[in-house]
């Protein structure tokens, strides 16, 4: 389990393009072994590592579980999520 987390960190999240995209997010790292059963069930946390992405309303919009994902694709998806969340936030503030 820890080995896969380290692989994801090294192969994806340590790359320049993903690190740049991650500046648009608030990141929280959770210890799977200390999570409540309710959260594990709600987000179907059976595979580790799993990175969940939420929009500004707190809805899960994407998850990453592969340690072999291409960093360019991950960064592109992150930028798309950040852009959509920015638009959603503007719409929420107009109300």
Along the 95 residues of the chain, how does pLDDT read in single tens digits?
678 889 999 999 999 999 999 999 998 888 888 889 998 899 888 877 889 999 988 999 999 999 999 999 999 999 999 999 999 999 989 87
Q: Residue 48 has what pLDDT?
A: 77
| pTM of the predicted protein model | 0.85
- Write out the E strands in the chain: 51-54, 60-64
Q: Residue 67 has what pLDDT?
A: 92
3-state secondary structure of 49: coil
Q: Residue 1 has what pLDDT?
A: 61
Of 31, 28, 61, which Cα lies nearest the Cα of 48?
31
Q: Which residue has the tokens 């340590």?
A: 14
Q: Cα(17)–Cα(9) distance, rounded to whole angstroms?
A: 13
What residues contact 5, with CB distance under 8 A and at least 6 apart?
Answer: 48, 49
Q: Residue 81 has what pLDDT?
A: 95
């Amino acid at each position: 389990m820890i080995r896969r987390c380290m692989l994801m960190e090294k192969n994806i999240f340590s790359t320049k393009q993903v690190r740049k995209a991650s500046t648009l997010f608030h990141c929280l790292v959770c210890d799977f072994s200390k999570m409540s059963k309710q959260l594990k069930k709600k987000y179907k946390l059976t595979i580790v590592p799993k990175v969940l992405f939420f929009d500004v309303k707190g809805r899960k919009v994407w998850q990453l579980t592969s340690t072999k994902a291409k960093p360019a694709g991950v960064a592109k998806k992150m930028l798309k999520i950040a852009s959509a969340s920015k638009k959603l936030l503007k719409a929420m503030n107009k109300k």
